[in-house]
Structure 1
Amino acid sequence: MTTYIPAITIPSAVFQNPASSILLPIALGTAVGFGTRPSKTQKKYLELKQPPLRPPPWVFGPVWTVLYGLMGYGAYRATNIGLSPLSSPQTIQTTKHSMTIYTVQLGLNLVWMPLFFVANRPVEATIDIVTLLGLNGYLAYLWGSVDSVTGWCQAPYLAWLSFATYLSAGAGYLNDWDLADKETAREDKKQQ
């Protein structure tokens, strides 16, 4: 089991308020989305070789908004149930551990898009998303031990992360794991 690390964990007061717990990941995800310049990101997404079943770019914003809201609700529910004065010491410990895992996975989630689309680092982005998938599987297990509904709140997120892992690895592979060269080559062709 992981350790509760207060210095890197979002404060429990954020999780114990439903609005802040739900809106925090939505706001952070939106900020990252707009910070990576959506028009440039969409253009690059469409220019890259992609594996079959890739969705159109407009799908990502609504899907991530719903998933961020659901994960925020799960964090709220897990924290309020797990840190209740009626909870066992083991449940309280598990909940605190899950708060650290949740914070780390949120950070990993937020760095994927800049890694892939801005830094042109598909290998690192794929490592990030595989790690993210594993952490969320573990988080679903931890939250499920606190409250089954909370554990199930992770199911859509895990499904989408699995699909996103396929897209990330597939795009990396199909573009020879080097997005910067592809972008430069396309720009050179346009200038000729």
Structure 2
Amino acid sequence: MKRIVSLVLFLLLVVGGGLLIGATNRPGEWYQGLSKPPFNPPDWLFAPAWTILYLFIAFVGWRCWQAQPTGRRMQLWWAQLVLNFLWMPMFFGLQQMALALVVIFALLATILAFISLSWRVDRLSAWLFVPYALWTAFATYLNISLMVLN
């Protein structure tokens, strides 16, 4: 029962936190007015993509916490979550694309470090972070492109 409760708490923290940050940092008129690259995804795609990724992130965090709650992988997991939750307020809230770029570079590096560290001890967690790394790499490229165009 404790395992189920802890999984639910991880899901509430990550998915709930992501939804809350998304709801309080809407793209708005500023973002709509930006020149966008031709590969910019439609706005409707971001919410379902991030929801799926947040489910993976929560599950992976729960697995790490079950294995070693204070270990290096868990520290990286917490670091990526903080950086993830920080990007939207930087980009949309403060409209600071350059600062958001610093955050997303750090986020991507942390995700890749997590995958590398997890590869031998928890292959499932490493694989579940691969789509997250790919999406974040794409978002990094999009952040750079928006800076260049605007």
Using structure 1 for the length normalisation, give the TM-score. Answer: 0.71
The counterpart of 1:61, out of the listed 30, 47, 64, is 47
Report what 1:72 is aligned to. Answer: 58
- Any stretches of 5+ residues in structure 1 without a counterpart? 1-12, 84-91, 176-192
Report what 2:148 is aligned to. Answer: 173
Q: Deviations over 1:52-89 (max 9, x none)?
A: 21011111111111101101111112332x33xxxxxx
Report what 1:20 is aligned to. Answer: 9
Report what 1:9 is aligned to. Answer: none
- The alpha-carbon distance between structure 1 residues 114 and 64, as it changes in their structure 2 partners (threshold 3 A), is same
1:162 aligns with 2:137: yes
C-alpha separation in 2, matches of 1:43 and 1:60 = 17
The counterpart of 2:19, out of the listed 30, 35, 42, is 30
C-alpha separation in 2, matches of 1:68 and 1:144 = 20
Q: Deviations over 1:5-57 (max 9, x none)?
A: xxxxxxxx999821112231111111111112x3xx14333321122210111
Using structure 2 for the length normalisation, give the TM-score. Answer: 0.90
- The alpha-carbon distance between structure 1 residues 14 and 59, as it changes in their structure 2 partners (threshold 3 A), is farther
- The percent of aligned pairs where both chains have the same amino acid is 32
C-alpha separation in 1, matches of 2:76 and 2:10 = 15
Contact 1:101 1:135 in 2 (8 A): yes
Deviates more, 1:120-129 or 1:71-80: 71-80
Deviation at 1:123, TM superposition (A): 0.6
1:123 aligns with 2:105: no
Contact 1:16 1:79 in 2 (8 A): no
Structure possessing the higher radius of gyration over alpha carbons: 1
1:139 aligns with 2:125: no
3-state SS in 2 of match to 1:17: helix
Deviates more, 1:109-118 or 1:14-23: 14-23
* Alignment root-mean-square deviation, CA: 2.1
- Any stretches of 5+ residues in structure 2 without a counterpart? none
AA partner of residue 57 (structure 1): D
Report what 1:96 is aligned to. Answer: 71
3-state SS in 1 of match to 2:120: helix
AA partner of residue 64 (structure 1): W
Q: How many residue pairs end up in the alignment?
A: 149
C-alpha separation in 2, matches of 1:109 and 1:146 = 24
C-alpha separation in 1, matches of 2:137 and 2:42 = 17
